[in-house]
Amino acid sequence: MTEQSKQQEMQTSQQEEASVSEEQEIQEDDKASEQEAKSEQELKIEDLEHQVSDLNERLLRVQADYDNFRRRTKQAKEQEAKYRSQTFLEKLLPVVDNFDRAIQTTPETEEAKNLLEGLDIVYRQLHEALNGEGVKQIETVGQPFDPHVHQAVMQVESDEYDSNVVVEELQTGYQLHDRVIRPAMVKVNT
């Protein structure tokens, strides 16, 4: 082979090598571009997944807040229904006290005795109506003093009862369900 053909062959081989190396560079660039595109897509996917997660958490919080609101509203309505008659009963208690005092009197005539029997019947009916509404008298005499339901107005010394026990009831106390409408006024043993 001649030198010229050797040179041509070398040039051809160099051109082929350059061409192969260019193709490799192009392929590497393409791979790098693909990886960049994939990493951008992966970043977008991660971002979207994070947004979905945040929205789900917010939705759960809003649902929980709404459930709590419904529960509180329901409880408030139940409480309102349970104690709706409290103000009326507070106004009615002095009437009940007056009935109680009238029944405790001793009649002197037959006419007064008949009137007292009629008052007693009305008094019992009134107590039945109050019991039907959830009103009950607070137990006092012989019970340990409880400042939540008793109002101590006097202290006395008595051998019949232990210390801090109610000895006498001065005014009847009442409860509406579990709420005290009026505490009982009592004397307490020291």
Residue 145 backbone phi and psi in degrees, to 5: -65, 130
| DSSP assignment letter at 2 | -
Give the DSSP letter of residue 162. -
Helices 86-103 and 110-132, axial angle in degrees (round to 10): 150
Distance CA 186, CA 151 (A): 6
For the chain, the farthest-separated pair of C-alpha atoms sits apart, in whole angstroms, at 162
Question: What is the strand order of the sheet 184-189 is part of?
Answer: 150-156, 184-189, 166-171
Asked if 182 and 90 count as a contact pair (C-beta separation under 8 A), the reply is yes
For the domain bounded by 83-189, which CATH number is listed? 2.30.22.10
Q: Where are the alpha helices (DSSP H) in the chain?
A: 3-82, 86-103, 110-132
| Per-residue tens of pLDDT for the chain, all 190 residues | 566 666 667 666 666 666 666 677 777 766 666 677 677 888 889 899 999 999 999 999 999 999 999 999 999 998 888 778 888 899 999 999 998 998 888 888 999 999 999 999 999 999 999 999 899 999 999 999 999 999 999 999 988 889 999 999 999 999 998 899 999 999 999 8
Residue 89 contacts residue 176 (beta carbons within 8 Å): yes
β-bridge partners, 171: 185
pTM of the model: 0.60
Token pair for 32: 């790098």
- Domain extents for the chain? 1-82, 83-189
Q: Cα(184)–Cα(171) distance, rounded to whole angstroms?
A: 6
Q: Residue 156 and residue 190: Cα distance in Å, rounded?
A: 6
